[in-house]
């Protein structure tokens, strides 16, 4: 809660596919909504729209979610529009399960689409600082071991490869 308040967040959009946690019950929907409400922060569950575990079979390639396919579904795009519309009245934090934004679909899938549509994206780190999305993606390049400074690739090209590489590592895989 302190991270949200420190960063003047006025609404949380929960993008977890399942809004429950066995390990941290205070993040279960009811407890979370209550705590947010006590602190004047609105809550909306958008896991059905923006979650990484799609129910749409057409979004899978070899039992792994394809973020490109998922990002083009009407349901996903309706979730993106809800975030965009909400941002007119709220300072929104997208919430998922992973602490580090480099490990989460909210960065590699949701933030990518929002950024492409003109949104300004920053990630709240564990110490409360805000990290610009570009810097997060540069950290992804480092995680992937992608060298920077290649004369043949622009930074945008490198970041596009970072999205693809990280997706391969973190995308949901269903049993098949």
If one counts every other C-beta atom within 10 angstroms of the C-beta of residue 75, the result is: 15
**In whole angstroms, what is the distance from residue 30 CA to residue 50 CA?**
20
Q: What is the mean pLDDT of the chain?
A: 94
Q: What is the pLDDT of residue 121?
A: 97
> Stretch 52-74: mean pLDDT, rounded?
96
**In whole angstroms, what is the distance from residue 171 CA to residue 80 CA?**
19
Selection from 85, 83, 84, 95 nearest residue 17 by Cα? 95
> Stretch 51-58: mean pLDDT, rounded?
94
Q: What is the pLDDT of residue 6?
A: 96
The whole-model pTM stands at: 0.92
Q: What is the pLDDT of residue 43?
A: 97
**In whole angstroms, what is the distance from residue 29 CA to residue 24 CA?**
11
**In whole angstroms, what is the distance from residue 55 CA to residue 141 CA?**
30
pLDDT tens digits, one per residue of 133-148: 999 999 999 999 988 7
Domains observed in the chain: 2-170 (3.90.190)
Selection from 15, 20, 2 nearest residue 111 by Cα? 15
Could you give the 3-state DSSP secondary structure of residue 118? coil
Cβ–Cβ < 8 Å for 80, 114: yes
Q: What is the pLDDT of residue 147?
A: 82
- Which of 169 and 146 is assigned the larger pLDDT? 169
């Amino acid at each position: 809660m302190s991270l949200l308040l420190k960063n003047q967040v006025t609404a949380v959009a929960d993008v977890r596919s399942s809004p429950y946690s066995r390990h941290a019950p205070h993040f279960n929907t009811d407890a979370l909504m209550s705590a947010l409400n006590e602190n004047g922060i609105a809550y909306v569950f958008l896991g059905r729209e923006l979650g990484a575990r799609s129910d749409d079979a057409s979004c899978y390639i070899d039992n792994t979610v394809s973020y490109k396919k998922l990002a083009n579904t009407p349901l996903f795009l309706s979730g993106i529009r809800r975030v965009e519309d909400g941002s007119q009245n709220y300072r929104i934090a997208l919430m998922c399960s992973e602490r580090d934004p480099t490990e989460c679909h909210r960065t590699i899938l949701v933030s990518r689409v929002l950024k492409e549509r003109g949104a300004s994206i920053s990630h709240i780190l564990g110490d409360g600082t805000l990290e610009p999305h570009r810097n997060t993606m540069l950290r992804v390049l480092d995680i992937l071991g992608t060298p920077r400074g290649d004369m043949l690739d622009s930074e945008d090209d490198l970041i596009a490869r970072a999205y693809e590489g990280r997706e391969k590592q973190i995308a949901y895989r269903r049993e098949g």
